[in-house]
Structures are given as C-alpha cells and as structure tokens.
Amino acid sequence: MNPASTCAIIREMEITNLASEIKKQLPAELVNFMQVAGKVAANQGQNLYLVGGVVRDLLLRRTNLDLDLVVEGNAIELAQQLAEINQGKITTYPQFNTAKLQWGKWSVDLATARSETYTKPGALPKVKPSSIESDLSRRDFTINTLAIYLSPSRYGELIDRYEGRNDLEHKLVRILHPKSFTDDATRIWRGLRYEQRLDFQLEQETLQLLKRDIPMLDAISGDRIRYELECILQEERPEQVIRRDEELGVLIKLHPSLKGNGWLAEKFDQARQLSSPNPPPVELYLALLAYHLTDVEIEQLTAYLRLSKSIAQILRDGASIKSKLQLLAYPELRRSHIYRLLQGYSQSAIIANSLATGSAIARRHMETFLRTLRYVKPALTGDDLIRMGITSGLQIKEVLNLLHEARLDGKVTTKQGEVELVKGWMGEVT
Ligand code: ATP
C-alpha cells in the first residue's frame, strides 16, 4: 500500500463505528463468527473485543486475518462454547487463561482481559484477570492499543484510549509511558520492527527513551531475544529492520560482529528471489546474517540465543562450507569430488554459501549438488552385491562407493553398466 495515502484513508473512513469497515475488509465467515461470538459472550454477561494488530491493520487497510479477541470474563469457557457452535477444535492454555479456536481454514486467539505488573526490569510480568482498560494499558505501542466492541449493543465501536488512531494518522510508533522499555526491553526490538514494517517513525520521545534503555536489553533472556529475531526474519523485508537496529545500536546487543549493511540487503533479496513464491526459511536468513562470523562468534551467538541444535548446525555448516569455497571454485572439479565436499551439509547452509560466494564456479557447483548430485544413487544394493558373490562387509562398502562415484561422474548410467563394473572389480581382486 502507498504509505502517503494512509492519512487520507483513515480520515475518510467512518471512525467511530467500524462495523462497515469490518464487513468490507474481512471475509464473511470471520465477520459472522465475531458477531456470533459477541452475542454468546453478551448472553453470559461478558464483553468481548477485537484487539491489537488486526484493528490497527483494519484502519490502515492492510490485510490481516489474525483475529485476537479479548473477553472480560473467561476466555477458555467462551472458546469452548464457540467451538461447539462452529464445530471447531480448541487448544487451551490455562496458565495464561487463553485459548486458540480453529475451524475450517480459520484460527482465532481468545484471551481473558488481564493486567500486568513488572516486579523487576526484564522479568516476565505478573498477570491477573482484569478489565479491557487494564488490558490495553499493558500494551507496547499506542497503535496496538486500539480495540473494537463486539457485543451486539455496541458492535463495531472503536475504543481508542491512547490516541492510537492519531498516531496511525501521523505514522508514529509511540510507547504508552516513559518506563515502557525499562519494564520490557523486548519492546525495543518490537518498536523498530513496526517502524520498518509500516514505514512509520519512532515518535521523538520514544526514540530518546529507546536509545537510553538499550542497556536494559541485557536483562532479557536469550529465548525472548531469539523470539524477537525470528519475528524480524519473518517480516517482508527483514534487512530494513536489521539496518535500523544497527543504526540505533541495538544489533550490537545481539552480537558485536553482526552487520545490517548493503551486502546483507542484497543477499536477503537474492534469497527471496530464489525462494519465490514462498518466503525464504528463517534459517536461511539467519545463515546469511551470521555468514561473516568466525567459528567462535557463531558459538557465542548460538549460546546467547539458545539456538536449537538443528539451527546451530546450519550456522556451523555454513562456516565449514565457507572454508571449502576455494576448493569448490576449482573449474575442473569432478562431480564426485563436488559431492564429497558438500555431502552431509544442511541445504540452507549450502544455499547461503552459494548466495554469498563471489565465485561463479563455486556457485554453479553448489547448485549442481543441490539440483542433481545429492539425489544420485547406484541402482545396485548391498543385497545385489551379496547375490553376486561379494560377502565381506568392507568390500561391499568399497564397491558401493565405487558405484556411487561412477554414477556421479557419469561413467555408468544403467544398472547393467553397474553389473559390468562390479564384475570387472571382482576380476581384479580375484
Ligand atoms: P503484529 O505483529 O501484526 O502486531 P500480532 O498482533 O500477532 O501481530 P503479537 O506479537 O502476537 O502481535 O502481539 C499481540 C499484541 O500483544 C500486540 O498488539 C501488543 O499490543 C501486545 N504485545 C505483544 N508483545 C508485547 C510486549 N512485549 N509488551 C507489551 N505488549 C505486547
């Protein structure tokens, strides 16, 4: 969407009651679901609201089908009733008083309105059931505090306690109170993500407080930072967020050697072209982000973010392949040699290297491996070799390797060719 048109759209829209906007922008099934949910909640004497990102995006006319509902009452009980009506299935999270309801191709999150108190900076907050007012007051940015009544008597009415609509009009990301980043410094990462995603700006005081509170990121667990990084890497243009993170001195908190520069932007863009029409997997972006780190630095990042074994392995594979790039850039490389250099490495680590290398030959070799070589197998099996009279395990292994290599290098192309090769080998050893 053209960012310049944002203000005009918000002004022209019916701003106190958004019922017609909901109908216009959301699929009929979801609209119907919300109306029914509002009635069911009302019958139990509970108020139900549509909250957060979907309301923000409704006002911005950005597609968002992730419905977040908040009920002043009991979200799990309400979800159970709605699951019966919709013949859906629910997953409940009693410790958070929330539930996920899924039916057909739809999925909706329901939460019990809650208030939060922070006992110490960076720690997870203490939560207790509360009103919609308290629920909105615990949120990160004004543009995420917007809510819409779903109860039939006030269906579609906008709740805007923190002038979120005004900030949307002025394209500003603003915290709700000066202690916001101190309470929860993950909001630093979040704020920059929203700023770049929406093409907004951090409001002046928010920007000053964000810079002041960057050291508070030290109080946040690696797990929570990893989650924020994963969210960034799922954005449409993660490199823009990372560049901004670097500019403001936030990226350095992840690791001092990481860079959000033009090289990264170019490689992320190439990764998208390669993966199109799907977005690149997060681990490919991560392998590119960590590409210039040394082995030691990769271990530091892995430990800090508590990366899973498989993701950590991708980063290590990336570094290991990087150390073989000179060999891979050799023009006369036999296909079996390419295979030996690359076998066993994760796909994302190979792709990251093929995007990162300056050598067209190395890139071509990696592409050949991914496209064909990794799938090449001999037609004969160990059992076939036993039937042909080879009994020693070691010899079977040797012959299978020989066949594999011959297949890779195109020396044999048929099963019969393989049989001849084995017979020749048997003639030599006897
Ligand atoms: P989007 O990224 O489009 O906003 P979303 O609505 O799924 O997607 P979530 O990260 O799931 O975003 O957060 C849901 C809501 O919870 C946000 O709108 C925000 O108001 C609130 N929220 C999430 N994280 C925090 C936080 N660290 N501090 C305060 N509020 C938060």
51, 76: one domain: yes
Ligand 1 center to 213 CA (angstroms): 20
pLDDT digits over 275-297, tens only?
A: 999 999 999 999 999 999 999 99
Rounded Cα distance, 301 and 251, in Å: 12
- Which stretch of DSSP H or E encloses residue 56? helix 53-60
pLDDT digits over 77-118, tens only?
A: 999 999 999 889 999 999 889 999 999 999 999 999 998 887
Residue 317 belongs to a domain:
no
Q: CA quadruple 397, 402, 405, 410: dihedral positive or negative? A: negative
Q: Which structure tokens are listed for 376?
A: 């090449």
Number of domains forming the structure of the chain: 4
Ligand 1 center to 190 CA (angstroms): 8
141, 4: one domain: yes
3-state secondary structure (DSSP) of residue 257: coil
368, 409: one domain: no
Which segment of 296-305, 317-326, 389-398 scores lowest on mean pLDDT? 389-398
76, 96: one domain: yes
Taking CA atoms only, the protein residue closest to ligand 1 atom 4 is 53
pLDDT value for 14: 44
Residue 416 belongs to a domain:
yes
396, 329: one domain: no
pLDDT value for 1: 44
Nearest to 270 by CA among 353, 359, 370, 374: 353
pTM equals 0.90
3-state secondary structure (DSSP) of residue 92: strand
Residue 14 belongs to a domain:
yes
Ligand 1 center to 52 CA (angstroms): 7
Is 60 exceeded by the pLDDT of residue 15? no
Domain range for 367 is 323-375
CATH number at residue 28: 3.30.460.10
For the segment 350-366, the average pLDDT, to the nearest whole number, is 97
pLDDT digits over 156-175, tens only?
A: 999 999 999 999 999 999 99
Is 70 exceeded by the pLDDT of residue 343? yes
32, 165: one domain: yes
For the segment 146-162, the average pLDDT, to the nearest whole number, is 96
166, 36: one domain: yes
CATH number at residue 204: 1.10.3090.10
Taking CA atoms only, the protein residue closest to ligand 1 atom 7 is 53
238, 340: one domain: no
pLDDT value for 11: 53
Residue 316 belongs to a domain:
no
Rounded Cα distance, 307 and 95, in Å: 25
- Residues in contact with ligand 1 (CB, 6 Å cut-off): 52-53, 66, 68, 139-140, 144, 184, 186-187
Nearest to 109 by CA among 119, 96, 118: 96
Which one of 66, 139, 236 would you pick to mutate in the ligand 1 pocket, going by the greatest count of ligand atoms within 8 A of its CB? 139
Ligand 1 center to 53 CA (angstroms): 7
Residue 158, Cα to own-chain centre: how many angstroms? 30
